[in-house]
Amino acid sequence: MSQVDKPVTTVQERYGARADEYRQKGLWQGGSASALLDRWADEQPRRIAFTDGTGTLDYASLRQRAWSLALHLKKLGVKRGDRVVMQVPNWNEAALIYHAVSRLGAVIAPVIMVYRHAELRQIINNSGATVAFTTGQFRSFDHAAMFRELRAQCPTLQHVIQARPQDLQGDIDFESVSAAADAQELDAVAEFGPYADPDQPHVLIYTSGTESVSKGCTHTWNTFNFSARGLSEKIFEMRPDDTMFMPSPVGHATGMMMGIVVPLNAGAGSHLLDVWEANEGLRRIAKYRCTASAGATPFVRMAIDAAKDSGLDLSSMRSWLCAGAPIPVSLAAELKTQFPNCQLLQLYGCSEINMMTATRRSDPPALREGTAGSPVLGGIESRVVKQDGTDAKPGEEGEVWYRGPGMLLGYWRDPERTANAIDPNGWYHTSDLCVMDEQRFTRVSGRIKDIIIRGGANISAGEIENYLLGHPRIQGASVVGFPDDRLGERVCAYVVARPGPPLTLEEVVAYLREKKISPQKLPERLEVVEAFPMTATGKVQKFRLRQMAAGQA
């Protein structure tokens, strides 16, 4: 079978006998997103499922419109196993797209809004997507125009559907294909066939991590919902009357899981915020009586600062979960001063495994506020492995390895990188360093991978370096992160310049903008040096550049 015919390994090949064990123990419960939606639409049709500040979807209308959209996608030729790309803001439309694609048994590939031509082209071509959802102008960028350019460069892409368009120019209008179907049309839902197989690919989460080419983390419903269900039940302790506040983009793992699938498990609601601004975020929390949230630490920092003079009632908030960067211990205490009933929780995971450890409301404060928690979900195996390949003792640092029900099948159409990440015994090597105590509470201490975590988003230093080396004035480039109180890290580019006038940050950024890469990857500092600090074997000593960028050397 060719790579195209079999783009990723099967559940049985990946998990072997463990797959049967996960099912027998109820770690994989089967079912589907569509079955859950049907359940809640039948049991509590008027419960508000989604709001986004402009519209409201209760569970009944969510189902009716999602199934209507699924019918139109079916008419466009979308079938089980097909891939559908979604790059839309945190709007109600995202939930409709997710459920429509899921009902057909197709595979959704969500994409964050800051991705541009270079990233989208690679994702569409790698996934072989036949349909893409986008929008028009959003935050001064014309996404529809970008997709019109991409259609000529992506042979499989047949249809583009625009949500809230300004100018369709031949694209399909989302509203027209998702309008609530009448009873006769909904009779055709029977043509969808049974719910999607929970062991078939369900979602492709594209992540660049340390590399210049995005990897499609392939999750089944079982592997994806293992973490989502556990978060809903054991971390957020969600009930049907809860409302998730979601400022993290639904175009990536955190936003899609926390904003769409976690509340779905409990029949709860979700409020989506499309553009993060702290004051507006607080107003939404107060207005919609949100009870939980999840996202990068900078969201919490900005929310606390804005809350001090807001005068808003924020007492509904019960839990705020952070992931993507270490949390300062003092932040939990500060949160309490502005959100009196809210506890700050921490999670460690990544797109490949979703969640490995997390803190719970019942954990002692010293552990809840000082660690990334423990593997609270049954079935998760974890190891901390030292450089010599032996297991670290409690208190010793090593690389985190994961094996369990939440692990990806592999990277889509990328067997080489899959084999590099998952060893023959089924352990996923995270490349993150941590220290674990006797109770398996985890403190993340660093990372092997060369990434910059800016506002919770992983940015590949190597990708930016490759672009910089194309600049006619740059003969050497090395990119590192430097500390920032608000975003955790920002991007600093060290370059060796060719002879000529002084090289400026503005000139370098203008050049990179021409490459149409994500704005978050643009350097915010430029340091021109005569030479890089090197090892005896000719490798750049990035740790020294990081020290220099942080003012420590």
Helices 33-43 & 59-75 angle (0-180, nearest 10)? 140
**Per-residue pLDDT, 183:** 66
Q: Is 130 helix (H, G, I), strand (E, B) or coil?
A: coil
Q: Do residues 67 and 101 lie in contact, with contact meaning Cβ atoms separated by under 8 Å? A: no
C-alpha span between 128 and 85 (Å, rounded):
9
Return the CATH fold of 451-549: GMP Synthetase; Chain A, domain 3 (3.30.300)
C-alpha span between 263 and 175 (Å, rounded):
25
**Per-residue pLDDT, 552:** 72
Phi/psi of residue 513, nearest 5 degrees:
-60, -35
Q: Could you tell me the residue ranges of all domains in the chain? A: 22-237+245-267, 378-448, 451-549
**In the chain, what is the straight-line distance between the N-terminal and C-terminal CA atoms, in Å?**
54
**Per-residue pLDDT, 2:** 40
**Per-residue pLDDT, 461:** 85
**Per-residue pLDDT, 211:** 56
**In 208-249, at which residue ranges do the beta strands (DSSP E only) sit?**
215-220, 243-246
- Nearest partner of 249 among 206, 304, 198, 302, judged by Cα: 206
- Nearest partner of 86 among 170, 169, 174, judged by Cα: 174
Q: Could you tell me the CA-to-CA distances from 519 to 62, 117, 228, 453, 472 in Å, in that order?
A: 33, 12, 30, 14, 21
Please provide the CATH number assigned to the domain covering 22-237+245-267: 3.40.50.980
The DSSP call for residue 392 is P
Interstrand relation of 159-163 and 131-135 (parallel, antiparallel or unpaired): parallel
Query: How many CA within 13 A on the CB side of residue 36?
Result: 23
How would DSSP label each residue in 282-337? HHHHHHHT--EEEE-HHHHHHHHHHHTTT----TT--EEEE-SS---HHHHHHHHH
Considering the entire predicted model, what is its pTM? 0.87
**Per-residue pLDDT, 3:** 42
C-alpha span between 526 and 48 (Å, rounded):
48
Q: Which residue has tokens 């990277």? A: 411
Contact residues for 316 (Cβ-Cβ < 8 A; gap 6+): 285, 286, 289, 290, 291, 341
**Per-residue pLDDT, 333:** 86
The residues pairing with 346 across neighbouring beta strands, listed in sequence order, are: 322
CATH of range 378-448; options 2.30.30.50, 3.40.50.700, 2.30.38.10, 1.10.3720.10:
2.30.38.10
Q: What residues in the chain have per-residue pLDDT under 70?
A: 1-5, 183-184, 208-212, 324-326, 328, 446-447, 449, 535-538, 553
